[in-house]
Structure 1
């Protein structure tokens, strides 16, 4: 028995609409992202690379997050909104520090991606804000093992 004409025409349209809605849905955030919090950060300050001069790597230290992990913030001293959470042992590049070393500006790769793609191991001509492709943020001093 053949399907009624209206069913044979609407079924492909229904399948197409379902496929389109599925393609538009947002993927879940990476596992290291912090849960959404109310409000925007009060301050945002991009991490600078090349602070040690043009003859050294863009970021001075490859380090590991201390056991217990750490939270990544949008700016030094800004603790209202967490940008990401990093697990203990996560590899990060320390690119700058506040004068009193209470905050470190870091660059880190997304889970499952190659940290070498961040482009911070080569020298840059002038100090500048990090533009990607990896993630960046600020962590409290004492939450990384420097040079580990």
Structure 2
């Protein structure tokens, strides 16, 4: 007696075996997407203690400007763009200084209104009224 596989089952088996033999694409080959980010992490202020300003330094964005992202390492969705020469408050950095968490005023708004030049009692997420986000290291002149 000869056994034959049903045609739909045979097709499914062959397709699944073919899929297993294909290598996965490299992670850095992911296409850029727009819209909501895959990850978000608010910028922390007051991480240097209650006796120092909420954000450690004011820096100037280098010529050419920079993109602002939702989280360190998350480059799929741009949150905002900051023009070259604009001032930002650097509030925190990743351990390798590859990313800076910044607070910045929108054009026409006094950066002093951001409230990060004075101490805060406890470290916390920045809640406004200015904008916040993450920029790549090397896109600002620190202390500039």
TM range (shorter): 0.7 to 0.9
TM-score normalised to structure 2 length? 0.76
Q: Indicate the residue corresponding to 1:88 in structure 2.
A: 84
Deviation by residue 1:33-53 (Cα, 9 ceiling, x = unmatched): xxxx63420000000000101
Unmatched segments (≥5 aa) in structure 2: 1-32
The RMSD of aligned alpha carbons is 0.8
What per-residue deviation string (whole Å, max 9, x for no partner) do you get for residues 8-64 of structure 1?
A: xxxxxxxxxxxxxxxxxxxxxxxxxxxxx6342000000000010111000000000
- Aligned mates of 1:139, 1:73 — CA distance in 2: 6
Gaps of 5+ in 1: 1-36
Per the alignment, residue 42 of structure 2 pairs with: 46
Residues 1:65 and 2:61 aligned together:
yes
State the secondary structure of the residue aligned to 1:116: helix
Shift of 1:100: 0.5
The 2-side partners of 1:106 and 1:136 are apart by: 6
Decide which structure has the larger Cα Rg and report it: 2
* Count of matched residue positions in the alignment of Structure 1 and Structure 2: 112
